[in-house]
Amino acid sequence: AAKAGGRGRYRFFSGDLLQAATDRRLLEDDLRDALARGELDLLYQPIVNCRTDCVTGVEALLRWTHPVRGPISPALFIPIAEEANLVQQIGEWVIRRACEDAARWPGALRVAVNVSPTQFTNEALPKIVISALANSGLPAGRLELELTEGVFLSESPDTDRMFGMLKDIGVRLALDDFGTGYSSLGYLKTAPFDKIKIDQSFVRGVTVPGSRNGAIIAAIVALAEALDMETTAEGIEAFDQLDLIRGLRVSHVQGWIYSKAVGRDVIMQKLETGDWSINPAGPARQRSE
């Protein structure tokens, strides 16, 4: 058994892992040039107030079309960008581009941008945000930064200071993928979030009334309401899910049931044709029915 295990291990290291490491290095090299080559693009997915059915904003989602390999998921290349020290440069491009696009759309839609933990700990972030807002003319209140629980891993005075600086600028803050990370409720006491995004993994299990995931979502919503935060349920794909989620008093939803992420021109067109009703302020008005 030891021999077989040894051999298996040998094969593993010389094969898959080496291949993976080489692959990663090649991808890293390509990612270094991706921005300059125009291979990166931002798509936008609508976020809908499920009490009014109005679009209140969009989330910017990064796409990389590799010249040979085709589309590569941000779930794969963002971690590489983090390790290769490319995430600051790419992240800055994302913030600037999202602000420029959002400033052109009619109807005062909000735009949400994902900010990785490494970006969040970078001193330069507030300056980049201020400059992106000033250059684009987008009001600060229409930019939302989505952070994950990862920003609390290195809990330090700098974390609080960064939160303070971003709130002073006037941007909104959302806690992304809630419930999947190193969840501690402690940081909700002090971190100034405007919104909690309930991870898709909870939403996926909500297929029948009375599910365990439903109970967890209801508890998250109660917590968010008590702390005066909005909630967005991520990854809604089916109508029965949407109905159940609505019943749990979630304030906003996002998912393929409404739309996948689309280009800025499609967003522009949806807004101009009135295809989407928009309600940027998104008051929690109950539908009259």
Residues in contact with ligand C2E by the rule CB under 6 A: 45, 60-62, 73-75, 78, 91, 94, 114, 116, 146, 176-177, 234-237, 254-256, 261
Of 92 and 177, CB closest to Mg ion: 177
Largest CA distance in the chain: 71
Contacting residues for 27 by C-beta, under 8 A, at least 6 apart:
66, 72, 77, 80
Quick one: tokens of 81?
């960008």
Residues that bind Mg ion (CB under 5 A): 114, 146, 176-177, 234
Least distance to ligand C2E from the beta carbon of 255, Å? 3
Smallest separation (angstroms) from ligand C2E to the CB of 98: 8
Cβ atoms of 116 and 78 within 8 Å: the answer is yes
**Tokens 């759309």 sit at which residue?**
105
Report, in Å, the least distance between residue 204 CB and ligand C2E: 8
* Spatial distance between the Cα atoms of 234 and 208, rounded to a whole number of angstroms: 17
Residue 16 vs 83, nearer CB to ligand C2E: 83
Query: How far is the C-alpha of 131 from the C-alpha of 246, rounded, in Å?
Result: 38
Do 186 and 214 contact (CB within 8 A), yes or no?
no
Q: Which is nearer to ligand C2E, 19 or 145 (CB)?
A: 145
List of residues 6+ apart from 124 with CB closer than 8 A:
88
The CB-of-12 to ligand C2E minimum distance in angstroms stands at 28
The residue among 149 and 176 lying less far from Mg ion, judged by its C-beta, is 176
Q: Cα–Cα distance between 129 and 135 in angstroms, integer?
A: 10
Tokens of 103: 């400033």
Q: Which does 61 bind (CB under 5 to 8 A by kind): Mg ion, ligand C2E, none?
A: ligand C2E
User: 230 or 234: whose CB is closer to ligand C2E?
Assistant: 234
Min CB(26)–ligand C2E separation in Å: 21
Q: Which does 149 bind (CB under 5 to 8 A by kind): ligand C2E, Mg ion, none?
A: none
